[in-house]
Amino acid sequence: MKKLYLIILTALVLCACSTADGRPKGSKSAQRLTEDMAVPEMKSYVPSQVVEYEGFTLSFNKRNGTPNWVAWALEPDETQGVESRKKYDFWQDEGVAGCPSKKDYTHSGFDRGHMCPAADQHWSMDAMRDCFSMANICPQNGELNRRAWGTLEKKCRQWSNEKGGLLITAGPVYEATDTETIADGRVRVPGAFFKAIVAPNDAEPTGIAFVYPNAPAPGNMFKYAMSIDELEKIINMDLFPALDDSLETAVESGFKKGAWQ
C-alpha cells in the first residue's frame, strides 16, 4: 500500500530533495503529503461513491458516468519510477456503480482522459494499474488531452520537485447545457475540466487552479489560471478542507503567477 511505500522512501526523499538542514528544497517543513489532504467536500445531493485506489482517491458520479473529483498527493519521489504504463490497459471497476467499460469510449470521438495521470504513478505497480480504472476517466477532446492538459500534467511533476510535493484535485466541470453523451447515454461529456494545485511545503505555501474547456486550448497556460476560491464557486465544492484553516485561506484566496513560472 501507498503508506508503507511512502515510509520506506521517506529517507530517500529527504536525501534527494532536501536542503542542507534536511528539509525539502524551498520548504519550511518536511511534511509528508497524502491524498486525504486533497479530498474536497461536495453538496450532499450530488451522487457520489468514494473509492480509495492505490495512490489516489476519487468520488464517482453514476449519473454522469465520470468522477466528480480525483484527489492525490504528488511527492517528488513519485515523479520518477520504473513501472511502465505499457503493461496496463483500461479496465472496468465492477465495484463502482455506473463505471463504464473501455469499449464505451470506442469510436466516441473522445480520448479516455485520465484525471490522475499514469505518468504520476511510475513509482508503483498497483498505482499504475489502478489509474487505468475507467472510474478515473472522462471523455476528453483529443487535442486537449495530448497538448494543453498533458503540458499541465508535466508542469505538476516539475513543480512537485521544485516545491517539496503537491496536493492535486482534478475533475470534470459540468453545466446544464452539457447534454452531449456517449455510451448510449450512460457517460456525459463535460464542457470543461478543472485542476486545483496546492504546494503546502513551499517556502511560501501557495495554490493555483486551472479550468480548460473540453476543446483545443491554445495559448499560454496562465490564460486558463485562477485562484482556488474562484474555482470553488464554479464547481460548488470546498477544496482542501483538511488543511489548517489559516493555510487553506492563504493558498486559496489568490495566486501569484510568478510563483508558478
Cell of 125: 505497480
Q: Assess whether pLDDT exceeds 70 at residue 21.
A: no
User: According to the model, what pLDDT value does residue 30 have?
Assistant: 53
Residue 73 CA to residue 92 CA, distance in Å, equals: 24
What is the mean pLDDT of the segment spanning 218-239? Answer: 98
The backbone torsions φ and ψ at residue 239, rounded to the nearest 5 degrees and listed phi first, read -90, 140
Confidence of residue 1 (pLDDT cuts 50, 70, 90): low
User: According to the model, what pLDDT value does residue 220 have?
Assistant: 96
The average confidence (pLDDT) of the chain is 91
Contact of 115 with 133, CB cutoff 8 Å: no
Task: Note the pTM of the prediction, 2 decimals.
Answer: 0.89
Residue 216 CA to residue 77 CA, distance in Å, equals: 31
With a CB cutoff of 8 Å and minimum separation 6, the contacts of 118 are 85, 88, 128, 131, 132
Confidence of residue 19 (pLDDT cuts 50, 70, 90): very low
Of 194, 15, 160, the closest CA to residue 73 belongs to 160
- Helices assigned H by DSSP within the chain: 2-16, 125-130, 142-146, 148-163, 228-235, 245-252
Higher model confidence: residue 17 or residue 183?
A: 183
Domains assigned to the chain: 2-260 (3.40.570.10)
pLDDT tens for residues 144-199? Answer: 999 999 999 999 999 999 999 999 999 999 999 999 999 999 999 999 999 999 99
Q: Assess whether pLDDT exceeds 50 at residue 27.
A: no
Q: Assess whether pLDDT exceeds 50 at residue 18.
A: no
Confidence of residue 31 (pLDDT cuts 50, 70, 90): confident
pLDDT tens for residues 38-76? Answer: 999 999 999 999 999 999 999 999 999 999 999 999 999
